[in-house]
A and B are shown apart, each in its own frame.
Chain A
Amino acid sequence: MTDLAIRCRGLVKRYPPDVLAVDGLDLEIVRGECFGLLGPNGAGKTTTVEILEGLTAPTSGDVEVLGRRWGRDAPALRARLGITLQETHLYERLTVEELVRLFRSFYPRGRSVDEVIALVALQEKRGARYERLSGGQKQRLAVACALVGEPELLFLDEPTTGLDPQSRRQLWDVVLAMKARGRTVLLTTHYMDEAERLCDRVAIVDRGKVIALGTPRELIARVVGQEVVEFQAPADGVTESALRALPGVQAARRAGAGWALTVERPHVAIPALLAHLDEKGVALGALSTHRASLEDVFVTLTGRNLRD
């Protein structure tokens, strides 16, 4: 038995005539970890996940899930996976309880209907029809339907997109509980705070390829640095090379109407920056600092914002 929950090599998905959704993607996900697939819309995250889920056939490449391959092993494999699709509508006229019971009946073993409903905190809504649920409640129900077979591997495709803070929190708790039980979770998300909070490791995907891989802290430290200083100044007053030459500054790039510097030690870099601007006679606009995030990693690597 391998200790990898997912292994894929050279994954390619081409949609004729000319869309290359996944372009030679490699991935290894260890059992028991929560792994995040990050990237902008159209990066190929969902296509990748649906190939791993056995719902889409790859154009080429090799996929192994829980040590098995899609094809002959599919029925046995499906019983060990839990899945939420990016966009699912369940039966409008059925109640929460009826829907969970329906999904429970598909699995040879798993948790009880009540247990799973409690897990996503929908006890008070158990008799409510799907059509009457809020977006957050619908999403929690979708997760309940994914958990009901007690999966070894849980796929969550953008589980919290567009949700209210309370529903987001509750879904985070569900993921953390899965981790605590030693299960594997693969989630895709737009939200960097979500990835930093939940994921042991993340892969940043862009144009169908993994462009960075590691723990969130590692990636931030390696690609960006510890802190980001942003300020606004006229474009002609300062140059990138001059900014980079300042003490404590690791990198500089344009950000909107100003600049973003990644710095090792803000207490050294900021006074130096102010002195430099003063010397050049440049009027300083807004100045702010924040702890570097995965968002900064993505922008640094691609020159684009995640939500573009």
Chain B
Amino acid sequence: MTDVPAAAPPPAPGRLDRSPLVQLTLARVRGFFREPSAVFWTFAFPVLLTIALGVAFRSRPPEPVRTAVEAGPRAEAVRAALAAGRDVTAEVLAPAAAATALRTGRVSIVVVPGDPPSYRHDPTRPESRLARAVVDDLLQRAAGRADALAARDELVTEPGTRYVDFLVPGLVGMNIMSAGMWGVGWVIVEDRQKKLLRRMVATPMRRSHYLLAFVLVRLMFLVLEVPVLVGFGVLAFGVPLRGSLLALGAMAVLGALAFAGLGLLVASRAKNTQTASGLMNVVMMPMFVLSGVFFSADHFPGFVQPVVRALPLTALNDGLRAVMNEGAGLVALAPQAALLAAVALASFGAALRLFRWA
């Protein structure tokens, strides 16, 4: 307690020092950035996930049609005729080896030379059906068939149709959901469990300021999270961003508000973080599965679709994909925007009625 340096005259406290809303918001921001794991899950994890999935599902050149020719007197002639085709591999195999290659999927079809030749294949395998068409075409032409018309090929591979183009908006949506639910719900319940909420309610602090600080922090972080992930997708994978930044921002903000509201609702009565995390998983798991983060929600059968369409994450993902991949404008996004706004209003309203302060 000795050697206290002579303090410089303290600076006059500024207006920001005296604003409870600013101080509450700063407390949240500082707490977040001083928690390395929170920073990782919010910013680094989605980028790492994009890299991993983008690499795993990257676009490849067209797969060749793999064929085998059963060894015999005319086998070499048939092989030569097949090998002349574009993107076709052909090899001559002894009958037993050819049967094994077909069974294990190493080749899609086995041609038994003869007059006429026969094609051995499994019609339930799509690549076998393709191989039959290609093989038959090549052999017919080699036998002298003339094409009735000569069609031209126009080749297109457009960004917007690849898996990574589908994935990035889904990850943005998922991130907005997780960050909203955890960032609001978990933190409030932690304050309650530590009796810090009770301590703050014992001051003249306005309760609306306490809650508003969460919304402000969510919106501030959104300005960091979304550009990091979208920017990474655009720069590293050439993911398209066809719509306006305004439309993208509007969807992101509505999504953030909807999930902040749901986080608040989950936190409104929970007494400890175990209860809260259980509740949050109950709310989020169905959306991870049903809302089209990793694969299209259209795959689910018709009777599930009303549920799928009612989920806020489905609306958010659809909206983000429409903006990024199809260039949808604000008007086209009205249904998704309306659903997110309704979820936000309903959840905030319900949470404020249920909220346990002291």
Task: Please list the residues of chain A having a beta carbon within 8 angstroms of any beta carbon in chain B.
Answer: 53-56, 75, 78-79, 81, 83, 85, 87-94, 98, 101-108, 112-114, 121, 123-124, 129, 145, 149
Q: When chains A and B are docked, how far (Å) is the Cα of A106 from the Cα of B13?
A: 14
Main secondary structure of the interface of B (DSSP, over half): loop
Q: When chains A and B are docked, how far (Å) is the Cα of A59 from the Cα of B106?
A: 79
Contacting pair A149 B203 (CB below 8 A): yes
With A55-B201, A105-B18 known, 18 other A-B pairs at CB within 8 A are A55-B198, A55-B358, A75-B206, A78-B202, A78-B203, A79-B204, A83-B199, A90-B196, A91-B196, A92-B31, A93-B34, A102-B24, A105-B24, A106-B20, A106-B200, A113-B10, A149-B203, A149-B204
Q: Is B80 an interface residue (CB 8 A)?
A: no
CB distance from B240 to the nearest CB of A (A): 40
B18 to A, closest residue via Cβ: A105
Tell me whether A123 and B4 are in contact in the complex, defined as CB-CB below 8 angstroms, given that A89-B195, A93-B34 are known contacts. yes
Tell me whether A105 and B23 are in contact in the complex, defined as CB-CB below 8 angstroms, given that A93-B31, A98-B30, A149-B203 are known contacts. yes
A123 to B, closest residue via Cβ: B4
Contacting pair B23 A102 (CB below 8 A): yes
Q: Is B22 an interface residue (CB 8 A)?
A: yes
Residue among A54, A83, A93, A114 with most chain B CB within 10 A: A93
Q: When chains A and B are docked, how far (Å) is the Cα of A85 from the Cα of B194?
A: 11
A57 to B, closest residue via Cβ: B358
CB distance from B195 to the nearest CB of A (A): 6
A79 to B, closest residue via Cβ: B204
Contacting pair B202 A114 (CB below 8 A): no
Contacting pair B196 A105 (CB below 8 A): no
Of the candidates B30, B195, B204, the one whose C-beta lies within 8 Å of that of A94 is: B30
Q: Is B346 an interface residue (CB 8 A)?
A: no
Q: Is B1 an interface residue (CB 8 A)?
A: yes
Tell me whether A94 and B27 are in contact in the complex, defined as CB-CB below 8 angstroms, given that A55-B198, A105-B19, A124-B1 are known contacts. yes
Contacting pair A105 B20 (CB below 8 A): yes
Contacting pair A88 B10 (CB below 8 A): no
Task: Please list the residues of chain B having a beta carbon within 8 angstroms of any beta carbon in chain A.
Answer: 1, 4, 7, 10, 13, 17-20, 22-24, 26-27, 30-31, 34-35, 194-196, 198-206, 358
CB distance from A281 to the nearest CB of B (A): 59
Task: Offer 16 A-B interface pairs, CB within 8 angstroms, sorted by A.
Answer: A54-B202, A55-B198, A55-B201, A78-B203, A83-B202, A83-B203, A87-B195, A89-B194, A98-B26, A98-B30, A101-B17, A102-B27, A105-B24, A106-B200, A123-B4, A124-B1
CB distance from B17 to the nearest CB of A (A): 6
B7 to A, closest residue via Cβ: A114
Q: Which 8 A-B pairs have the closest CB atoms?
A: A93-B34, A89-B194, A105-B23, A106-B205, A106-B203, A79-B204, A78-B204, A105-B20
Residue among A53, A87, A106, A124 with most chain B CB within 10 A: A106
B32 to A, closest residue via Cβ: A93
CB distance from B24 to the nearest CB of A (A): 7
CB distance from A56 to the nearest CB of B (A): 7
Q: When chains A and B are docked, how far (Å) is the Cα of A90 from the Cα of B203?
A: 14
B34 to A, closest residue via Cβ: A93
Q: When chains A and B are docked, how far (Å) is the Cα of A102 from the Cα of B35?
A: 19
Contacts of A89 in B (CB 8 A): 194-196
